[in-house]
Amino acid sequence: MLIKAGYHIALECTAGTPLLALLTVHPSRAQDLRSAAVITSSGQAPLNASLDQFGNIRTRTIAPAGALRLSTEFIIEDSGMPDEVCPWAQEVDIVALPEEAVGFLGGSRYCETDRLSALAWSLFGNTPRGWARVQAIVDYVHHRLTFGYAFARATRTAWEGHQEQVGVCRDFAHLAIALCRCMNIPARYATGYLGDIGVPVVPSPMDFSAWFEVYLSGRWFTFDARHNTPRVGRILVARGRDAADCAITTTFGQSKLVQFDILTEEVAAQSKVA
């Protein structure tokens, strides 16, 4: 299947301001692009791309005083298959974990494993190891938190989400990640596009989505505590320990987000980018 995706984002800055952005399709999906996913900018400063420490494509520029508009639109090919479900996948002993997974065992900015460890072991210590344990965590988070855009708060941590019992997709991901790490299961944060493909259309404005990935049986698997069902059409943009590593924009000065329009939808095979 083919998916059209993109965004139109605008920020206002009081003065020339350095900016970092994670807004490019992840390199792991580059071979699936059927049109160039080029970022256009209303600013005069160049857009310089490089890989960050997690393998995401990071763009650097200088936002001018006033408005900066960033946009892109592209076509990407997708398998059309839902997230893989592998109930036989097993946990990997810590001593056998590769270096790429070990770094996703400990606490991080939004995932306080120290505060949640006792709770995690009381809830999941007797669940079967492996996929079943991760799914039990996902089920718990899915039912513990109530989703709502009105509940968004950039500073909410996994512990606070558990206590407040509300949040947006990043809060669901943070709590599930923290609980997995408490159980010695490597878990990492992921963000990108997720349209209403194969599910009833949600009338709310489209947003970037957050989910998480868990290391089992020698590879990473996708889980989604907010939706708690395999979904079609994820387009990965960034991975990291939590949302602090995957911010779509980071400005080093005063700024305000004034436009945020996200597009992701299935299109016919003959469609081209406008």
Q: What is the mean pLDDT of residues 233-251?
A: 97
Max alpha carbon distance in the chain (Å)?
58
Residue 63: strand pairing partners:
17
pTM of the model: 0.95
Residues 163, 265: Cα–Cα separation, whole Å: 35
Residues 4, 182: Cα–Cα separation, whole Å: 38
Residues 141, 130: Cα–Cα separation, whole Å: 17
In the three-class reduction of DSSP (H, G, I as helix; E, B as strand; rest coil), residue 174 is classed as helix
Residues 76, 46: Cα–Cα separation, whole Å: 25
75 Cβ partners below 8 Å, 6+ apart?
2, 3, 4, 33, 34, 35, 267, 271, 272, 273
Q: What does the pLDDT look like over 117-170, one tens digit per residue?
A: 999 999 999 999 999 999 999 999 999 999 999 999 999 999 999 999 999 999
pLDDT for res 274:
45
Q: What is the mean pLDDT of residues 232-254?
A: 97
Residues 234, 264: Cα–Cα separation, whole Å: 10
Q: Which of 167, 217, 173, 163 is nearest to 194 (CA)?
A: 173
pLDDT for res 204:
81
Domain 2-79+248-267 -> CATH class: mainly beta
Mean pLDDT for all residues in the chain: 96
Pairing between β-strand 166-167 and β-strand 146-147 as defined by DSSP bridges? parallel
Domain layout of the chain by residue ranges: 2-79+248-267, 94-232
Q: What is the mean pLDDT of residues 240-248?
A: 97
Q: Are 141 and 168 in contact (CB under 8 A)?
A: no
With the C-alpha atoms ordered 40, 42, 46, 51, is the resulting torsion angle positive or negative? negative
Q: What does the pLDDT look like over 121-131, one tens digit per residue?
A: 999 999 999 99
Residue 192: pLDDT band with limits 50, 70, 90: very high
Residues 94, 225: Cα–Cα separation, whole Å: 24
Q: Which of 216, 208, 215 is nearest to 234 (CA)?
A: 208
In angstroms, how far is CA 82 from the centroid of its own chain?
17
SS (H, E, C) 42-100: CCCCCCEEEECCCCCEEEEEEECCEEEEEEEEEEEECCCCCCCCCCCCCCCCHHHCCHH
pLDDT for res 29:
97
DSSP letter assigned to residue 31: G
The token pair at 83 is 């997230």
**Selecting from 3.10.620.30, 3.40.605.10, 1.20.120.350, 3.40.830.10, what CATH number does the domain 94-232 have?**
3.10.620.30
